[in-house]
Amino acid sequence: MIDKPYTMTNEEVLTALSTDAEKGLLSGEAEKRLLTYGLNSLGEKKPVPLWRRFLQQFLDAMVLILIAAAALSAIMALQEGKPEGWIDVFVILAIVIINAVLGVYQEGKADQAIAALKRMSSPQSKVIRDGKQILIPSDQLVPGDIAVLEAGDLIAADIRILTQSSLKVEEASLTGESVPVEKNGDAVLPADCGLGDRENMLFMGTAVTYGRARGVVVGTAANTELGHIASKLQNIEESVTPLQKSLTSLGKVLGIICIAVCAIVFVVDVFVQKEPWNEALMTAISLAVAAIPEGLAAVVTIVLSIGMTRMAGRHAIVRKLLAVETLGSVDVICSDKTGTLTQNEMTVKTLYDGENIYDVGGIGYAPEGKITDASGNDAAIYGVLERLLLSGVLCSDAVTNQKEDGRYSCIGDPTEAALVAAGAKAGFRKEAVSAKYPRISELPFDSDRKMMTTYHSDIEPGVIHSFTKGAPDIILDRCLMIQTKDGPVPLSPEKKEEILSVNHSFASRALRVLAFAYRLHDGALASVTMADFEHEKDLVFLGLCGMIDPAREEAKDAIAVCREAGIRAVMITGDYKDTAVAIAEELGLMTEGYQSLSGAELDRVTDEQLPEVVEKTAVYARVSPDHKVRIVSALQKHNHITSMTGDGVNDAMALKTADIGVAMGITGTDVAKNSADMILTDDNFATIVHAIEEGRIIYSNIRKFVGFLLSCNVGEILVIFIISLIPASLIPGIGVPLTAIQLLWLNLVTDSFPALALGREKGEPDIMKLPPRDKSESIINRKMKISIAVQSLAIFISVFVSFVLGLRVFFVDSSDPLTPSRTMAFATLILAELFRAYASRSEHTSVFKLGLFSNKSMNYAVAFSLLLLIAVIYIPTVNTIFSNVALPALAWVPILLLALIPFSASEIYKLIRYRK
């Protein structure tokens, strides 16, 4: 292996690798190097085994507390010898296992990006060994091999070009360049030359679109540019989403509170209340169960899954559940240009026939669109304009065709495909005109001449026409005449200046401009050779053609919506700066106060300066993969939640580094898709807007049911904690008001269905007019804490009063007043939760304004939970499991009235807190 081969001459590279340009390596030497350097393939990251992923689910603080509660319950069941004591143990362990299974199902950590990179390698390659050209598996390539390449070949290693002929290479997936780039093996480049400007190099994973070449392999496997991306992808750690951080923090806080309160209750009961230690322990276990929102993890998973399904219906596939909420808090979108903000299809936009300028409608390679004059009327296709369009079709090798899905694609050079499509819009179909005016010879394009010429018969009897296309300044220097409606006339200096002025105006719009000319030859001409370059002089000028990879119309609207939602869009591309800025201005990205930077300019910015620079930069051009990661990382250092969109290999590292990566599903490479958190199946930038809206709705709904569940848990803690401190002398017969299994039933079953219904709430009308959520703000912010405090206190009051009414009024004469009083407290708490679920549908709007029963899912959830409540109270044997007894009808009057207290408290709080 050698470092920076693009800085060396051909001879220096061959000497450094001890190889011969004509004979290649000897077979024996190639075998030795294969043993030294290894196979030319990209290894895969070893996936985490299923069993380890399952065990990792038990490391959560809340889960560990539940396991401890189950262990203590098992010890008590063994000591007391009561079979029914094992019910609590089995129920708690079942909950823990179910949550673990859901966690494994929720996130598969196996990374497929490396496998996708591996599949991109060419399966076979042509090399020179022992002086003969042979075909070998691409994974057998070694440094020093002489590779032979031609149009259509995938490049399977990094190669230093030795010789080439009219060579063009498609590097869009690696560098972001929207058109194939020309190569020059004779160039010797500076050490700081950017990836997209290394014209003497060929890179693994790219493809030859035109011409042929011979080169020496200088890098294989991980030592290629593609391999560097693969190794960096492996080293990038998965980022933690804000919701993950909040839930992790919540688990720790609840764990600490739970242990502290349980210890206090146990000590007070044993040493102050003089309760038996086993009863005190049972109270502590009940308190531990009350403190843990067992249903929270499952509800979060299910609601995120529902959101994923809804987003898939809108062409956005989310690969990771927790990425849904991250998308809703994104405030910067870093977007690749080619194929994301643009069509990734070169399109002719304007024509000039020496007299008039014409606009060409339509986008991409489809033969759809009109050619109009300056007045907007359909142009008459005859004379000079007809010949200009005809020359574009005939002097091109590309072919366009329609795929099964109706989209058009091209085979060959995209620039030529744009010319073929423009001709088709005027009725000149490639197949038809090629058959009518057969090509009899050609002079292929090369980087020295910057021209291409084709020869055609049958246009006029006894005459051969040659059509030449190329750079405008070069073509003009070779023209003596200009075609007019009256035929060829001398090309005057004034006319030449006019043509150059038009060319400049086209170029200032970031259009790629080609000039066309023709010449007549004797009909006896049969063929030409590369030595016949004198045919490319004394030409007759036909006109100019301006083309561009056009911006997506829907992207412009989407960017406007993003701006209204407080989201900044940034373009990051490997294309040229002028082209990038022109597209950015068209899309509305380049607004006042923002600048553009090239990769070279970015290299001069230090890591300390970059976080400030990125705040005022809207366009980055001619950037490398490392630049993209630097930009994304700098934005994150400035506390931005950053999204990166892209479709190429060059986007993969930034997709992984960003808070959320978004890949294109149609044009995107497998590498980009497998590195991303979300894939757009329609490649539509506007779909990101829908996904962001959905993400905001989902996060808002998660806040609603987190507040709903936690206020219940805090209320339960207050009930268990405060009542356990009340001495029996004050309230005779008092004991633990709720058992562990009752609390588990409430937390996991009764609360979960209304919580799921909250997760299906529709978004607020102004949700996309609000600024993104502060990255540092916890899901349980100050407003939610106050709301939880108000509702928890209301829950405690209603359950406490119900429990005392049972002990001292309804069942005071019973031999066992504690069990029916527990049932009253249990029923009051469940009904309070079901009524309160309606009030939780909005954090600031009254449920009566929303429509009390407008959420059908909530109605079904409440009705189902009511049926379950009746079942566990009145069905024999079932009620025994839950320590319940059948209640008399009269007991339901205070239960219903008391259950309305938390609902009323929530509505009154919203009325006072958000009255403005």
User: Is residue 419 within 8 Å of 410, Cβ to Cβ?
Assistant: no
User: Over the stretch 286-308, which tens digit does the pLDDT of each residue have?
Assistant: 666 666 675 666 677 677 777 77
Q: Is 46's pLDDT higher than 70? A: no
User: Over the stretch 885-897, which tens digit does the pLDDT of each residue have?
Assistant: 999 999 999 999 9
Q: Is 740's pLDDT higher than 70? A: yes
pLDDT score recorded for residue 432 = 93
pLDDT score recorded for residue 102 = 59
CA 801, CA 793: separation in Å to the nearest integer? 12
Give the confidence band of 531 by pLDDT, cuts at 50, 70, 90.
very low
Instruction: Give Cα separations from 609 to 326, 411, 523, 606, 901 (angstroms).
Output: 27, 45, 67, 5, 57
**Average pLDDT, integer, range 786-813:** 93
Q: Is 710's pLDDT higher than 90? A: no
Cα angle: 194, vertex 197, 198; to 5 degrees = 90
CA 641, CA 644: separation in Å to the nearest integer? 10
User: Is residue 617 within 8 Å of 595, Cβ to Cβ?
Assistant: yes
pLDDT score recorded for residue 435 = 92
Give the confidence band of 258 by pLDDT, cuts at 50, 70, 90.
confident
Q: Is 535's pLDDT higher than 80? A: no
pLDDT score recorded for residue 635 = 93
Give the confidence band of 650 by pLDDT, cuts at 50, 70, 90.
low
Q: Is 119's pLDDT higher than 70? A: no
Instruction: Give Cα separations from 909 to 788, 811, 901 (angstroms).
Output: 11, 35, 12
Q: Is 238's pLDDT higher than 70? A: no
User: Is residue 225 within 8 Å of 160, Cβ to Cβ?
Assistant: no
Q: Where are the beta strands (DSSP E) in 220-266?
A: none
805 vs 97, more confident: 805
pLDDT score recorded for residue 403 = 74
**Average pLDDT, integer, range 572-579:** 85
pLDDT score recorded for residue 298 = 65
pLDDT score recorded for residue 297 = 65
CA 252, CA 246: separation in Å to the nearest integer? 10
Residues 6+ apart with CB under 8 A from 43: 114, 118, 221, 222
Decide the pairing of beta strands 642-646 and 660-664: parallel
Instruction: Give Cα separations from 175 to 224, 244, 575, 586 (angstroms).
Output: 14, 34, 8, 23
pLDDT score recorded for residue 761 = 87
**Average pLDDT, integer, range 230-249:** 62
pLDDT score recorded for residue 363 = 87
User: Is residue 900 within 8 Å of 781, Cβ to Cβ?
Assistant: no
Give the active site residues.
336
Q: Is 623's pLDDT higher than 80? A: yes
Give the confidence band of 747 by pLDDT, cuts at 50, 70, 90.
confident
pLDDT score recorded for residue 140 = 92
Range of weakest confidence among 36-45, 675-684, 761-770, 857-866: 36-45
CA 813, CA 163: separation in Å to the nearest integer? 105
Q: How much of the chain exceeds pLDDT 70, in percent?
A: 87
User: How is 772-827 classified by DSSP, letter by letter?
Assistant: PPPTT--SS-HHHHHHHHHHHHHHHHHHHHHHHHIIIIISTTSS--HHHHHHHHHH
Q: Is 648's pLDDT higher than 80? A: no
Q: Is 543's pLDDT higher than 60? A: yes
437 vs 648, more confident: 437
pTM of the model: 0.67
- Considering the chain, what is the average pLDDT of its residues? 84
Q: Is 501's pLDDT higher than 80? A: yes
Q: Is 705's pLDDT higher than 70? A: yes
pLDDT score recorded for residue 743 = 78
pLDDT score recorded for residue 111 = 37
pLDDT score recorded for residue 462 = 83
What's the gap between Cα 144 and its chain centre? 39
User: Which segment, 59-73, 439-453, 480-494, is predicted with the most confidence on average?
Assistant: 480-494
User: Over the stretch 90-118, which tens digit does the pLDDT of each residue have?
Assistant: 777 776 787 677 556 645 433 343 344 34
User: Which segment, 55-59, 73-77, 112-116, 406-410, is predicted with the most confidence on average?
Assistant: 406-410
CB neighbours (10 Å) of residue 72? Answer: 17
Q: Is 183's pLDDT higher than 60? A: yes
Q: Is 807's pLDDT higher than 70? A: yes
pLDDT score recorded for residue 82 = 61
**Average pLDDT, integer, range 582-596:** 89
Please provide residue 389's backbone torsions phi and psi, each rounded to the nearest 5 degrees. -65, -40
